Structure formats: structure tokens, C-alpha cells
Structure 1
Amino acid sequence: MNISRFFGSTSREAMRQVRIALGPDALIVSNRRVNGGVEILATDSSSVPGAATERAPMPGSVPHQAAGIRQQEVAPPPAADNVMGAIGALRGALEGRMDDLVWSHQMRRTPVAVNLFQSLLSQGFSTALLRAMLKRLPEELGARAALQWVRTELETHLPVLRSEDSLWQPGLALALVGPTGVGKTTTLAKLAARAVRRFGPDKVVLLTTDTYRIGAHEQLKIYGDLMRVAVHIVQDVAQLRSVMLGVRPDQVILIDNMGISQRDRYVREQAALLAGAGRRVQRLLVLNAASQGDTLDEVARSYTHDGGTALSGCIISKVDEAIKLGGPLDTAIRFKLPIHYVSNGQKVPEDLRFMSAAELVDSALQVREGQRPLYAPSSGDLAALLESGGHSAQELQAEQERRARVLPRLLSAASAGGPISLEQARRAAADLDERLACAEAYDFWRDLHAPNASVQDGAAAQRAQGLMRAACQEVSEGNMSRLLVIHADHQPAGAQEQCSFSFLFSPKGQALSIPYYQRQTPSQWSDVRGVRSMERPSPTQALNQAMQVLNAQAQPVNLLHIFEGGSPTMWRQWADMQADWLALIPGATSLWHKDGKTTPNALSKQLAFHAIPDLAARLHLETLGRAKLGEIALWYAVEPVQLRHRNAEPVHLDLIVLRTVARHDGKVLKTRFALMHHCVGSEVIAPASLACYMMLRSEVQEMARLFNAVRGLLPASNSEFEEELHLLAAAQLTLASWDLLQAPDNRGVRQLSARLLGKPNLKSGQSVDALVKMLVLKEAMS
């Protein structure tokens, strides 16, 4: 039995690798979180006799199976929890022993992989990265070809800045962050020299927030005087915001920050300081090449999950002091931090290099003369470890075969709607992995129900950033140019708290994730990043906050913000923001059209409407407004309007009017109105698409009932950190419950979940229970 290891940042990504390598019939041996991602051990089902037996039962087994069903009608079915617990016990039986076997089996089979593993480990690369890479090493390659294959793999996956021109743009605000002593101030001076050469000294401004280290701001002032560049010292967010807003829009701002240990709680405070600057600040993490790999991993993890705007990349410093370069490159790959520059000395400005991925990999793989690593195993060490490790392959294969025989029986016992084959369950689990909303919900469900699970400060912020990255990657891979962000408020009946969620959808209406929320209680306001305040923001301020946070995290993906309500004052303020938005408004709203005041209701009677003939192609949904897509037709009209106010310039917007019409009798079911603001320079969105997005906004209102049901299923929160994470988990599970009902690709999952519930078809009120059944089943099979 050949077992392979697959590693991805999410379960969905890892499962996609499994299906590509082993096909849809692959057997999952184990599924667990390691090193900030998900590791899956899997094998080809054809290598397990029990799996083939399950798919092709003996003729005599059919009557026996039917008899088992008749017996089930008389006796009460076993409790689902007990059945799923038994499946989970089967899954856990192999996990500990498989870990050593898989890797040692690959190493024994491919001696070249052993040599590469030992060599790359001595260059500072992590075992996690090497295993993920070398498991795909073609076995037929010789030593020289294998090394070239590794070089190509590293170059392909190493993120680097595309060009210096893409970074140095007028109006750039750049901040260096990182622990104490990594060379931030000197590196900032080198960057300042580059900026002065490009723009001139009057277009560059230096800032420092480091008022603790003795001589820190004096050092920066010396550099500023030498380059004739203005230097400002700020101590808090108010001073920072004042300076930032006082700088001309075309000036480049470079910010030096106090060095903070990755274990210091002030990391989050510094992130909040930069986030409140009043201007988008790109943060670069400075990685000390002379640090150990584990230290670099801890630094990157801390600053990546500090609750601030996402890191734009990193700078590798002190390369001249480092013995090996694998550690910082490994960290950049695993945390997806594009390398902007490499600092290799103290000279300003000479010792700062812009390097390509190929140059960086060459430097990392270069064997220095006389170098003999003391802290990495030699080839002899590895050989001894391979000989002593591992369990009997025959014993593990027997355990896997037993699991394949028993699992179908347990699945049938868990179903109240007839027997379920293992193949049907596998296919449904694979379908869940293909839907981002469901895949992320599964990760939440598994983590929240893990034994001895503990939630640390910043856990919700970390997961939220991951949800945003996954959504951006989804639209990028689908060659889509933007994300839809639907903002909606929710206040459970009788509750004193109110939540505001930001739902992410693809332009086709596919539910993706919920990376941001705000929560208001009688005592405080807070958001998913862990930012808290005793003062409750106004609706305008709250929406501004959400739009700014998401716009900063989504770069370079464009966002279209969709919300309901507002006022002329709010719309005027939002029109000044660099953002596209679509606001659903009442029909009696006062607008200016041509030479006089009017309302959407009155204006719509004068407009020509156009049909949307390809509705199913524009929105990949089963229903709209509780009606099948084939039962309704959408007609839209668009007309330019203005917001006018004395002593102010008029604001130009587009009025979108949408009519929902019943196909069978032509009756107008509902008329909706919205104002569209196109940001200068952004891609213009077709009015027909905007009309579809208006309908999608109405669907979000259906999620309120689902959210109340989901939240009651989660375990009790024992701390404020758990409450933050549980609220984010409830929102993502709610979105997945809606997606289970709405996505055409989920029809197979709906059919299976209905059988698990003992129902002929899945209805809207059953989607939460159905999702939970599927998540428990998927976890038991993993």
C-alpha cells in the first residue's frame, strides 16, 4: 500500500492536490493541522482490497443488506453521535503510526531524495517545506537533475517583488516592522536614499514611532539631514494621523517603528497604530537572515496575525552575517511574503539589493567552502533514523482494509433514508471541498470540536485574514476581476447585541467567506481584529471602518461594496472614498435629475427597461427570493442622477431600477432601487450585473434565521477570545448553510444530506442540520 502526503494552507487546497494526484477514489488515511496548514495522508483506493470490495459487492450481499434495512425499521436506529464517534475512532487508529511510515517509505524508495533532504536541511530549509516538496520529486531523476528540479520548484514558489517600479509610486506610505535589532532603521535609510534618487528630497518624508530606544530618532534625524529629508517623530495614533494627513498626496512616507519581540503583546498595539494612520500604509516585515528558522517562523506568525493590515511582504536583513539563507526564504514561501529587498551590510545606501527569485535561490543553495553544518543531521544520521523508525507496512495495511470494510456499514446505520455507500460519501465530501464557503466552515467545525482546543488572543483576527486571502485567491484563479462585499446588520430578537457582517461573494454569486464583522453590546464596540472601544460608532463610521479594512486587505483585488440604506450625507461622504459601492435605497429618496428634483419611484415611470435573458449564467444560484430562477424574469433600467447640496459640488451617481417579474403571468412582484458610485479609474460594471447584485443583496436577509440556528450549535465560550472566534465561526457556518441550499454544484450533497435526515428533499429550514451532518460525516471519513 503506497501512502502519499499532501500539504495545503486549507483542507480544500490539500484535498485538491489529493484528487489531482490519486483521483476521486483516493482513500484518506488522516487529516490534521500542522505548521499553519493542513496535512492529508492518502492512498490510491485500488491498492486496498477492501475498497474494491465495497464498490463491487458480491451478489449474495444484496438480500442480506436488504434484510438489514427491514430489521432497522423495527429496531430504533443507533444514535448518530455514537455512530459518528465509532467512525472517528476508526480514523484515529492509524494516524500516529502512519506519520513515520509514509516519509520513511518515500526516503527508502528514493535515495536521491534522502541526499537532497539532508542537503537542503543543512541550508536552513524546514522539514515541513521539504516534505511537501520532495514527495513530488520524480523518482527517475538523477542527482544533478533532481537538484535542478528542486531549484525550479523553489524559484516558482518563492514570492518576490515584481519590479521596483511597482513599489515606488507617488503617495507610497511604507512602514518597516519587526523585532529589535534586525536592522530596521538602517534599512529604512537605504530605502530613503532610493526614494530620494527617484523623486527628490522634497517628495520624501521620514517618520519614526520609536521613542523608547535611546538615540533611535537621533539616528534617523542624522540620515534625514544628510539626505535633506524632513523627519517627524510621533508618539501616538493622533500625532501619526495628524502628520500623515498633513503630508501632500504625492509625497512618499517611510516609517520606522520600535522593535518589538514577537512574543510581546505590544505587537498588536503597533499594528493598530499603523492601521489608524488615516492613509493606507504598506507594512514590510524585516527578517534577520542570521536568526534560526524556528525564530523566523515565530516572528512571521506573530506579525502576520497581529490584527493589522496584511503584510505586503518582507525585507531580508543581515545576509552578510548569516551562514545560510534557507530559513528566511522558507519563511517567505510558507507565509507568502514577497521579498522586496535584501540587506547585506551596514553601508547606506550601497548595501541593499533587489534580487530575483533565481538569484535568491542560487544564494541559498550555494555551498560555502569549508562549511560543515553542526546543527543538521548528516547522511549517516539519516540512514540510522530510517533503519530504526517505522512500523510494519503489513500491519498498517490490514488496519486500513478493516476500516474500509466497517465504514460502509456504519454509514448505512447512520442514515435514516436508506443505505449509503462509501463512494457516495466520498463524492459528497469532495464536493464540499470544492466550495470555499463549505471548506472553510469545515475547518472551523473541526477546530472548535477538537479535544483540548484552546483559543489564544488574536485567533479570530488570524482566521479572518485567512478567509480574505482564500476569497481573493478564489477569484484570481477564476480570472475574475473583483469581489462582491455585501454588508448587513443582524440583531437577534430579544438580544442586546447587534452584529454587522461583511459577506464575500464572487461575481457569479458564489458564497466565499465572511472575513470581517463588528459587534456592539451595551458595554462596548469591537471587531474581528480585536479592536475595542467604549464609544459606539455611527452607522456611517461603522461602514467606513469595514470598507477601509477590507479594501486594504484585498489588494490588488477590487471590491464592490453593497449595502442597504444611508442618507444623502452618507452617500456624499462615501463618494469621496476610493471605493466602488452600490446602495439600495427607498423609492421616495430625493434625487436630482436633469433640471429638477425627483424620486426613484417617479423617475422609473419614464425609463426604458431591458431584460436579462441569461440570468442563470450570471448568477449560479438555485433560487432568488424563494423562487426558482426559471420562474422569474429581471428587468432593469439605468439613469444618471445627482446628489445636490448648497455650497457643494454635485455628486454624480447612477440610479439602477430593478423589477422582478413572474414569468407565468407577467406580474411585477417587486421593484428595487439602488445608487451606484464608480470610483475614478475603476472598471465600469455593466448595469445588468448590478441588477443581479441587487437581488443577491436581498438573499443575505435570509441568512438571519440560519445564523440564529447555527449559533445555538456551537460550544459555550469560556473567554472573550473564544467568543470572538465563535462569532466568526457561526457566520462562516451560516454562509455555508446557505451555500448548501443555493449552489447548483451542491445537488449531490443536498441529496445525501436529505437521506441522512430521512427526508426526500432538503428544504430551507433543514439546511443547518444538513450541513452539520455532512461536516460530522466528512470529519469521520478524514
Structure 2
Amino acid sequence: MNISRFVGSTTREAMRQVRLALGPDALIVSNKRVNGGVEILATDATSAAAAAAQQGGHAPAAVQQPAPRPVETRVEVMSAIGEMRGVLETRMDELMWGNQLRRVPQAAVLFQTMLGFGFSTALLRAMLKRLPEALSGKAAIQWVRNELITHLPVLESEDALWTQGRALALVGPTGVGKTTTVAKLAARCVRRNGPDGLVLITTDTYRIGAHEQLTIYGQMMRVPVHVVQDTQELQQVVQGIRPDQTLIIDNVGISQRDRYIAEQAAMLAGAGRPVSRLLVLNASSHGDTLDEVARSYVNDGGSPLAGCIITKVDEASRLGASLDTALRYQLPIHFVSTGQKVPEDLSTANPIELVDQALSHSGTASALYAPTEADFAALMSLSKPAEDKSGSAIAERRRKQLLPGLLSMVNNGDGGLSMDDLHAAAAYVDEDTATSEAYDLWRAHATVDGSLPAGTLRHLQRVAGNDVASVAGAALLAVHDQVGIALPTGQRGRLRATLLATHEGRALTTTLQQLGFPDGWSSSTGAAAQVAPTAVEALQQQISALAAQTAAVHLFDGGSQGLWRQLSASGTNWLAQVGATTRVMVDDCATTMGALAKTQDHQPLPATAVLAGLDKVAGIPADDLVVWFASATVYLHARQQPALALQSVSLRLVHRQDGTLVKTLHGLSHFKEGASPQWLATCLLIRVQAKVALRHAAQLWRLLAQNRPGRSAQDQALVAVQCGLAAWQLTQDANAQLARKVAASLVGKQAWTSSLSPPALLKLFALKEMTGP
């Protein structure tokens, strides 16, 4: 018997040599470790048979070879070794993950948060192992968002889907909406190629009325519908279809645990034309169920799944599980279904919108299936993160490289700023909502070629909604205002914007911008006109655009009685800042807001969170001011219309030290469920303060135009307004004193003034980019 010797660095490598030399039927004689690797003695089946014949002919015992171990034994041994290795690797992975949670507490917080959004532990482990250690809370969330957007697979182009002769088949469990989705897809195809270019097929002969439902859809679209029961009938139908006709197949729903899945896959594979299978995932299903569905259909023996369609998004409390499934199984999301309407409630997948929706807080979602902080504290005790020597060394080298230049930049006087102060100022950019969103837009505006992402405004609106939803009893304020701007050519125009803020007056994001110049008017909603609308019409558009998507308290300047009546009739909560000469009726007597305020008893506004969170009001330190307020019910009269009852509010800003009157403010309001005078006073105060944000936006409009003159006007307006909000927040936030000090030093000033905030903010962003992770 010929015995060959094979040596490899590992058992796997040596076995590979055996199979290459002797084939898969080789018999292993022995294996042992040698210096530098593994030695295997093996023989082929022919030599083994010859040896057996010699032994049968009574060969001397001295020349008999040891009986080789059969292949089955070798496979069992190798399998056992593989299983042991798998157990060890799993255990090591768990230990490494536990160490990551202890070393980077932010990973544990994100782990808890993302579980609450419906993402799986498997995906979170793989993703959060790469989480940079130095990120703060908001920056870590943004890192996760970018990771999800970058890696979420979606259909690149719908045009490629509807090529002539394409065959699509929808597969999935019962009740996920396959038939309705087929009708929606058919409608999209008919719009592109006409009814003659499409044929529908259904294999669902089990569910009562299933094929009748599809037949009705087909008749409405004048598209032929065929019913088949097996592979032979499917082949006959496909053979009778023109090669250029698109084919969409609706299949019977099959449980992921049903053995018929493989038969269905085989039937589609034998259709006589390549069929692209799309798995339909129900967004309202539990994550474990979606995983089981995807695993069953991926491994059903049919052609590889071409992607998936996510349905019933409107019924799902969380979208994370369906996105998680598409990510882990790499199923490109082709479409998203948000309702039963055919064909309206179907759209192509946009990764930014899907991820933002998945990371949005739902006010009605239950926390029963998401771990709370108390749960996490009970399950694991986070020790103080161990110092990462290599990471610290890298950070220290970087700090030393930046330290001389940065400190010389900011310490042009007796500033007394340290590198820790610079990092703290950069950290403020991450922690504050308005500033962190402005920083992201500023970076995109400065570095990315082309337009800003299409879903940017919707993302900013969701960010504001999430911020407010995270605080019980909080309200979202929408401030609508305008400011004059100028183009580099000298042409002057108007910039209108909607600014979102919390009920405490903390700036958040902007959701709409309108630009009006002598040569035309345009809106971020896509509307445009040669002649700009009137101020009241533009204000109506601002309010309508936000009211259609978000419940908010609308704050604006002026308006008209017609607008006030319209908003009140629609149940909109609003407050308008008005002048002292605005005429109203009180006790059937005509008067003005200014005259009414003189007759009212004013009360001091308590030191609420609004005042506590502000550094200055009307340019005066908040601690040096006392705000007095008064309120009354007033009426507006118009011919042939009933009297409109409104609530007035009057504010007097008085200097605490000498009692001098700094400013007087007046407002009219209507709240669907009423509002306390104190709340009205707070809203009016925030409305006045927010004017500063748009003044900053006008200055930033000029600064951004100098940096990137080729940008679109709408993108420039969006970045300018969001940065204006951030500049306003930097000026008014009592927690931003160190950030203001650093920012002022970056522009060569030691004392902070409001006019410094736009250029100082951009310098602070540059500092953040230099020192931040």
C-alpha cells in the first residue's frame, strides 16, 4: 500500500493537500503535530484495496500495515474540532463584547437605545464593536445613523427593475400584503410601459377570493391575469407571453415553517424564464419572526432572493426589525408600503428616510419590549472604563501636535484657555441639538459636491420631534419669520423660514425656507413662482407645510384677521406678536392693545426654565430682568361674521436694579384647549428672542456664499438658517459660557457679543473638525 506524507501549517491546510493529491475518498492513516505544523499520512482507495487483498492472502504479520481510519471517522473528528473551535470563538466574542461595553459606556447606552428601536443584538454587536470611544451621546447616535444609512441595501434605480422581459415574483408568509403590493407594482409598471407590456400571474388558489381580487385589479388596469397551480401550467403561460412583456407573479402565502416553501421555490425556478424573487416583510412583525422568515426563504433551495419589500409600515410601532433583517441578510429594499391605497401607498426605498423613521421616538409605542436603564443596571454593572494605553498614546500625540497652534490661536491675550477647554467647547457642538445639526450641514456644504440629501428637511423635522418627545409634557414651538438678504451681485431679497424650538425656548431645527428676489420666488417644498406671494400668503404656506406633518404651537409676527379666523377655525394653536395700535373689543368697547395693557394689573413671570436657560433677554443678562405679564379675553369684529374670541397677552421687561422699562410686547392668541397667561407670556418671550436667529442667518448667508459661491440658493438658505439657530443657541444658552469664550478667542476677541456669534460659530466648527473624532 502506497502511503503518502502531507505537511501543512494547519490541519485544514494538510487535509486540502490530501484531497488534491488523493481525491475525496482518501483514507487517513495517521495525523500528528510536528514542528511548524501538522503531518498527515494518507493513502488512496486503490492502495487500500491492494493491502486488504494481501492481508486476505495471509501476508506475514510483520509486513501488515495498520488499518487506516475510514473517511467517516475523519469527518466526525474534524467536525468535533470545528464545533469546539466555534464554541471557543463564540465565548471569546462574548467576552470581547462584554469588555467593549465596560470600556465604552456609550456603547451600552446605544445598545439599550437601539434595542428599543427594534434592532437585533447580532447587528448591534457587529456595529457597536467599531464605535469610536471618544464620541459623546449625540455624536454616537449620529455615528450609528450614518452607519445604518451607509450599509442599508436599497434598490439603486427603479428604471433597472422595469426592463422589458423582467419577471418578478413576490414570496412570503400569509397576510403580509403580497396581492395588494402586486397591484401597486402593476400600476407603476403600467404607468411606464402601458398595459400591453405587463402580464399578471397568481399561484394563490388556496385563499378564498385571492385570485378574484387580483383579477379585479387586472381588469381595472386592462392587464391580463392568469391563474396557475403547478410548474407545468406556469411554463405554459410563460411560453405564451411575449419576450418583451414584464411578468409579475403573486404567490400563495406560505408559513416559514411549511415544507411547501421548497416546492414553491422549485416551481418558480422552472418557470421557463429567470424569475427575480422579492421577499415581502411585514414591518409590524416581531424581529425574531422576520429573521425566521428571511432565513427560511433564503435557504429554500430556489434562486437567490433579489431583495425585499417592506409592507404595513403604517401599522408598525417600530421599523428597526425590518431594516435589521434587510441588513443582515443583505436584501436590497425595493419598495416600502405605507397603506392599502392602490397605487399611492407604495414608494421606493430612501435609506435616509427609512433610518430616520426607524430612529424616531413614537409617542404611542409601548416600552414593554424594550429594556430600560433600570433593566440594564440590573443586568450589568458598568465599571470605570479601563484606560486604553494605545488609544491614549495616539490621542496624546495628536494633542501635542495641535496644542501649540490651537493655543496660540485662542490665547492671543490673557485667555487662560487649556486644551481641555478646547475639547469641552468642541463637545458642546455634539451635545446641543441645533448646533450638532448645523455642524453636519456645514460640513456637507463645505466638502460634499452637489446638492444636500433630498431627505434633509424631513430628517431635521424628525430630530426636533424626537427631542421634544423625549420630555414628558413638552410642546414644540414653530416660529415663522423673515429677514432681508442680498446676493453677491447686490440684488436684495427676503428669506422666510420656520424655526422649531422647545417650550423652554431651546433652539432645535429649521423645516422650511422661502427665498424671494425680484426675478422670482421659490420654496424648499419645491414650489416656485415668478411673483412672490404676499406676506400673509407666505405665512399661510409656512404654517400649512408644518401643520400637515407635526402638531406645534405657531408663533409669528402680525398677520391679518382673515388668517387669525382661518387658523382658529382649523383648531391650530397660535400666537401672533402685534403692535400697540392693534384694535380689539373689550366689554363691547373698542380699544387698542396698548391702551388695554395700561389698564391691566401685571404680575411677575416666575423664574421658569425659560428664563433659567437664557443667558440674555433683549440684550440684558436674564438675571438683571424681571418680566411682568397680563392677559385678558378680547374680541375681533367683522361684517357678516361672528365675533372672534382671542386671548391677549402683554409683557413688560423691567430692569431689576433701577426699575426702568426696557421693552413692552403685545400678543394675540388662540389655543384649542385654552392656555394659561403664564404660558402665553412664555411663548411671546420666545417669539421675540427667536428673531435673533434669522438676523444671524442673514449674516451667515453672506459668509457661506463667500466659501462656496456655486451652491444652490435653497441649500445655502437651509444651511444658513440652521447655523443661525445654532448661533442664537450659542448666544442665549446659559450652559455655553465656555464654548462662547473659546469661540470668541478664535475670532480674536475676549468679550462675547451677539454680533460675533455667526463668524465665531464657523470658527468653532473648524475647531471641532480639527480636534473631534
User: What's the TM-score once normalised by structure 2's chain length?
Assistant: 0.54
Displacement after TM superposition at 1:211 (Å): 7.3
Give RMSD over aligned pairs: 5.6
Kept in 2, the 8 Å contact 1:753–1:774? The answer is yes
Distance, in Å, in 2 between the alignment partners of 1:651 and 1:419 is 59
The answer to whether structure 1 residue 405 and structure 2 residue 400 are counterparts is: yes
Kept in 1, the 8 Å contact 2:584–2:590? The answer is yes
Displacement after TM superposition at 1:394 (Å): 9.9
- Partner of residue 149, structure 1: none
Displacement after TM superposition at 1:599 (Å): 2.1
Displacement after TM superposition at 1:111 (Å): 6.3
Distance, in Å, in 2 between the alignment partners of 1:626 and 1:616 is 18
Kept in 2, the 8 Å contact 1:706–1:734? The answer is yes
5 Å matches for 1:488-499? 488-492=481-485, 495-499=491-495
Q: Secondary structure at the match of 2:704?
A: coil
Kept in 2, the 8 Å contact 1:717–1:726? The answer is no
Moved more, 639-648 or 322-331: 322-331
Displacement after TM superposition at 1:500 (Å): 0.5
Q: Secondary structure at the match of 2:566?
A: helix
Structure 1: give runs of 5+ residues left out of the alignment: 1-105, 115-123, 137-152, 158-177, 193-207, 235-258, 260-283, 340-354, 361-392
Which letter does structure 1 place at the counterpart of 2:357? K
- Partner of residue 516, structure 2: 520
Distance, in Å, in 2 between the alignment partners of 1:357 and 1:703 is 37
Q: Secondary structure at the match of 1:569?
A: helix
Q: Deviations over 1:272-323 (max 9, x none)?
A: xxxxxxxxxxxx99999989999879999xxx9xxxx9x9987999xxx999
Kept in 1, the 8 Å contact 2:655–2:662? The answer is yes
Displacement after TM superposition at 1:575 (Å): 1.6
Distance, in Å, in 2 between the alignment partners of 1:758 and 1:468 is 35
Displacement after TM superposition at 1:740 (Å): 1.4
Kept in 1, the 8 Å contact 2:171–2:178? The answer is no
Counterpart of 1:587 (choices 577, 580, 595) is: 580
The answer to whether structure 1 residue 752 and structure 2 residue 745 are counterparts is: no
Kept in 1, the 8 Å contact 2:501–2:509? The answer is yes
Kept in 2, the 8 Å contact 1:485–1:561? The answer is yes
Displacement after TM superposition at 1:645 (Å): 2.1
Distance, in Å, in 2 between the alignment partners of 1:474 and 1:711 is 27
Distance, in Å, in 1 between the alignment partners of 2:557 and 2:93 is 60
- Partner of residue 640, structure 1: 633
Structure 2: give runs of 5+ residues left out of the alignment: 1-88, 98-118, 132-143, 149-160, 163-167, 182-186, 202-208, 222-245, 247-281, 299-303, 337-348, 371-387
Kept in 1, the 8 Å contact 2:504–2:609? The answer is no
Could you say if the C-alpha distance between residues 405 and 109 of structure 1 is closer, same or farther in structure 2, counting changes exceeding 3 Å? farther
- Partner of residue 131, structure 1: 126
Distance, in Å, in 2 between the alignment partners of 1:642 and 1:630 is 36
Distance, in Å, in 1 between the alignment partners of 2:602 and 2:366 is 54
Kept in 1, the 8 Å contact 2:409–2:745? The answer is no
Displacement after TM superposition at 1:773 (Å): 2.1
Distance, in Å, in 1 between the alignment partners of 2:612 and 2:464 is 17
Could you say if the C-alpha distance between residues 616 and 626 of structure 1 is closer, same or farther in structure 2, counting changes exceeding 3 Å? farther
Counterpart of 2:195 (choices 186, 198, 214) is: 214
Displacement after TM superposition at 1:563 (Å): 0.5
Q: Secondary structure at the match of 2:741?
A: helix
Displacement after TM superposition at 1:587 (Å): 2.0
- Partner of residue 435, structure 1: 432
Task: With a CA cutoff of 8 Å and minimum separation of 6, indicate the structure with the bigger relative contact order.
Answer: 1
Could you say if the C-alpha distance between residues 536 and 285 of structure 1 is closer, same or farther in structure 2, counting changes exceeding 3 Å? farther
Distance, in Å, in 1 between the alignment partners of 2:599 and 2:670 is 22
- Partner of residue 568, structure 2: 575
Which letter does structure 2 place at the counterpart of 1:465? R
Which letter does structure 2 place at the counterpart of 1:336? Q
Counterpart of 1:509 (choices 496, 499, 505) is: 505
Could you say if the C-alpha distance between residues 574 and 357 of structure 1 is closer, same or farther in structure 2, counting changes exceeding 3 Å? closer
Larger radius of gyration: 2
The answer to whether structure 1 residue 487 and structure 2 residue 477 are counterparts is: no
Q: Secondary structure at the match of 1:701?
A: helix
Displacement after TM superposition at 1:515 (Å): 2.0
Q: Secondary structure at the match of 1:516?
A: strand
Distance, in Å, in 2 between the alignment partners of 1:505 and 1:111 is 43
5 Å matches for 1:333-344? 334-337=355-358
Could you say if the C-alpha distance between residues 598 and 357 of structure 1 is closer, same or farther in structure 2, counting changes exceeding 3 Å? closer
User: What's the TM-score once normalised by structure 1's chain length?
Assistant: 0.53
Which letter does structure 1 place at the counterpart of 2:521? W
Displacement after TM superposition at 1:438 (Å): 1.4
Which letter does structure 2 place at the counterpart of 1:522? P
- Partner of residue 536, structure 2: 540
- Partner of residue 173, structure 1: none
The answer to whether structure 1 residue 475 and structure 2 residue 460 are counterparts is: no
Kept in 2, the 8 Å contact 1:524–1:534? The answer is yes
Q: Secondary structure at the match of 2:641?
A: coil
- Partner of residue 84, structure 1: none
Kept in 2, the 8 Å contact 1:412–1:419? The answer is no
5 Å matches for 1:310-349? 334-337=355-358
Distance, in Å, in 2 between the alignment partners of 1:661 and 1:588 is 21
The answer to whether structure 1 residue 110 and structure 2 residue 93 are counterparts is: yes
Could you say if the C-alpha distance between residues 540 and 508 of structure 1 is closer, same or farther in structure 2, counting changes exceeding 3 Å? same
5 Å matches for 1:605-754? 605-614=598-607, 618=611, 620-679=613-672, 682=673, 684-714=674-704, 722-754=712-744
Kept in 2, the 8 Å contact 1:750–1:762? The answer is yes
Displacement after TM superposition at 1:460 (Å): 5.7
Q: Secondary structure at the match of 1:426?
A: helix
Distance, in Å, in 1 between the alignment partners of 2:655 and 2:368 is 60
Q: Deviations over 1:89-132 (max 9, x none)?
A: xxxxxxxxxxxxxxxxx999526889xxxxxxxxx999975533
Distance, in Å, in 2 between the alignment partners of 1:625 and 1:294 is 62
Distance, in Å, in 2 between the alignment partners of 1:322 and 1:433 is 27
Could you say if the C-alpha distance between residues 299 and 460 of structure 1 is closer, same or farther in structure 2, counting changes exceeding 3 Å? farther
Kept in 2, the 8 Å contact 1:509–1:619? The answer is no
Displacement after TM superposition at 1:643 (Å): 2.0
Q: Secondary structure at the match of 1:513?
A: strand
Kept in 2, the 8 Å contact 1:561–1:582? The answer is yes
- Partner of residue 765, structure 1: 755
Moved more, 699-708 or 716-725: 716-725
Displacement after TM superposition at 1:603 (Å): 2.4
Which letter does structure 1 place at the counterpart of 2:752? L
Distance, in Å, in 2 between the alignment partners of 1:420 and 1:746 is 15
Kept in 2, the 8 Å contact 1:461–1:529? The answer is no
Could you say if the C-alpha distance between residues 672 and 537 of structure 1 is closer, same or farther in structure 2, counting changes exceeding 3 Å? same
- Partner of residue 419, structure 2: 422
Distance, in Å, in 2 between the alignment partners of 1:765 and 1:656 is 30
Could you say if the C-alpha distance between residues 523 and 578 of structure 1 is closer, same or farther in structure 2, counting changes exceeding 3 Å? farther
Which letter does structure 1 place at the counterpart of 2:429? L
Percent identity (aligned):
24
Distance, in Å, in 1 between the alignment partners of 2:692 and 2:741 is 22
Distance, in Å, in 2 between the alignment partners of 1:544 and 1:396 is 54
